[in-house]
Amino acid sequence: MQKLLLWTLAGAVSLLLMVNLVLGLGTRGSINKIQAVQAQVANGPQMEMVLRNLSIRIAMAGEKDAAFKELLKKHELNVKLEEGK
């Protein structure tokens, strides 16, 4: 009777360890996805500045080439260039 109880408990513990392993691996995958999204959010302000500078350069080129002006209109980017530049 005691051996049966011992083997039952050993089996239950083994099953719980396997479930713990599976849940741990799933958690690790979720953490990796969260970290990737956090990295994208952290890079947001830097990318905004890069895109703003790029749109200004396209607008400056658009003064000579109509294709650049169309590119800005297509993506609905309104850029005002200063008169001094």
pTM for the complete prediction?
0.48
Q: What's the one-letter identity of residue 81?
A: L
Provide the pLDDT confidence category of residue 83 given band limits of 50, 70 and 90.
low
Residues 36 and 24: their CA atoms lie apart, in Å, by: 19
Q: What is the pLDDT of residues 11-64, one digit of tens each?
A: 999 999 999 999 999 999 999 999 999 999 998 889 888 988 888 888 888 788
85 vs 54: CA distance, rounded Å = 16
